[in-house]
Amino acid sequence: MAMSSCRSLHVSLQQQQQQQQQQQQPQKEPKFLEQVEMYFDQASVSKAYNTSQLQYMKQVDCMYEFLIPIQVPTPDGKVTTKTIRAFRAQHSHHRLPTKGGIRYAPDVNANEVKALATLMTFKCACVDVPFGGAKGGIQIDTSQHPVHELERITRRFTTELLRKKIIGPAIDVPAPDYGTGPREMSWIVDTYQRFYPNDINALATVTGKPITQNGIRGRTEATGLGVFYAIRSVVENPELTRQLGMKTGLRGKKVVVQGLGNVGFHAAKFLEDSGAIVIGIGEKNGGLYCAQGLSAESVLQYMQTKGTVQGYPHAERIFENPADILEVECDILVPAALEGVINLKNAHNIKAKVIAEAANGPTTPAAAAILEKQGTIIIPDLFCNAGGVTVSYFEWLKNLGHVQFGRLTRTVETEGKMRMVSAIEGMTGKQLTDAEYELVTHGSHERDFVYSGLEGTMTESWDHILTTAKQLNVNYRTAAYINAIDKIVLSYDELGLWP
């Protein structure tokens, strides 16, 4: 009997030791593609969907992977041939064309491209943009290649896609992403036009083009502006601000932005202009903190001159480790750089009340669970950073319509407003100043249409997410995925696309 008790005690101690060891060992977090699939699975069990159809919907439809050979000089003055790996994934063809950016990065890989293409499908559906999801990538460090090499690589990449007939205004429409911009998009369009010189819709082959090549005004700041509209939707909601224990509105809110690229910079700038205080800015080579507020424009200019945030003169504190900026106490945290920056290692140290996912996948599932349990509101990436693809949709429509937004209505609008000014002056007996006159009679320009369309899209999509979250008692990410899945299922049903 005594031996049995001793044995039971020994087993119990072993179990305790094993549990302690498991707790001490860092939990392995899923890769990006697995994370997107996990979020999809969480949403799919919230409603009575057809399981086999969901499994079909989750898969990537097409994945193209190929090598691009280029000749590069060697240190001894000779020339050698180097091969570069390239990818293009098309996740879903329930809507055509498919849509997604092209990123140039040394660590881009097939799984990352698949994950981003998958996320893009749900992102487009979430904000009612009629595209399927796609993504592309080329495995290069752009800093190691002169412009003429980047142009050759881009044109060869485009040529390979054209040979396979998987790019075009009605097939697959790329856009800029990390490491690419309007310049690369102009090279892609030019290459396409060499293959199809008589295609009247050739300019709709890509979005994010320079304005001189029928790009659209407002596209540069679109993703950051969309992030701003998403944050504003949260902090101007009395019910949500009560839940967070903060005052309604952006004025005075303390903001930390991690990543001062195109998205982070414009999100910070719009927040600043609305009265928020950017107290922290993080970049790959460090972080800056100032309780009185930092100027995003000033920090960006310093970075462009010095190549680093280190030594910035207007900061109270400069972090050596870029990740430390994420743990600064603030009202709103905007991770606008890479995926997985908020994870099990730092989730317990995050003190933000609102996390606006300006990047794709910045918060891992385990970290999100920890943060939501402590009351943090996470504005999910598939909604929060959808401003880019929304305005890309506007650019695509503009290119297919062959007319600039506002061109057909501006004169009529102005004339109508001038008559209104005359009526106001007649009733009040006062003449408007030149500034007041310009403000009242200003006709709508293309940027006005873009901003208005984006604001309406983000506001309506967030209202839909809130409604679904309340009805089904789920978090906002799950609600966003549910809304997206509902729309995709309906598309497949209506078009008879199920296998």
Tens-place pLDDT, residues 354-395: 999 999 999 999 999 999 999 999 999 999 999 999 999 999
Q: What is the dihedral of CA 327, 333, 334, 337, to 10 degrees?
A: 10
* Interatomic CA distance for residues 285 and 239, integer angstroms: 38
Nearest to 226, CA basis, from 267, 261, 273: 267
Q: What is the pLDDT of residue 25?
A: 41
pLDDT, tens only, 99-109: 999 999 999 99
pLDDT at position 351 is 95
Using the structure block, give the residue that is written with the tokens 């943060």: 371
Statement: residue 56 has pLDDT above 80: yes
Write down the domain spans for the chain.
58-213, 217-409+444-499
487 catalytically annotated? no
Percent of the chain with pLDDT over 70: 87
**Could you tell me if 115 and 36 are in contact, meaning their C-beta atoms sit under 8 angstroms apart?**
yes
Same fold: 58-213 with 217-409+444-499: yes
pLDDT at 234 over 60: yes
Choosing from 99, 123, 135, 398, the catalytic residue is 135
Per the DSSP assignment, residues forming a β-bridge with 162 are none
Is CATH 3.40.50.720 correct for 217-409+444-499? yes
Q: Are 99 and 392 in contact (CB under 8 A)?
A: yes
Mind listing the pLDDT tens digit for each residue in 333-345?
Answer: 999 998 899 999 9
Encode pLDDT of 102-128 as tens digits: 999 999 999 999 999 999 999 999 999
Mean pLDDT score, 294-323: 93
CATH 3.30.930.10 given to domain 58-213:
no
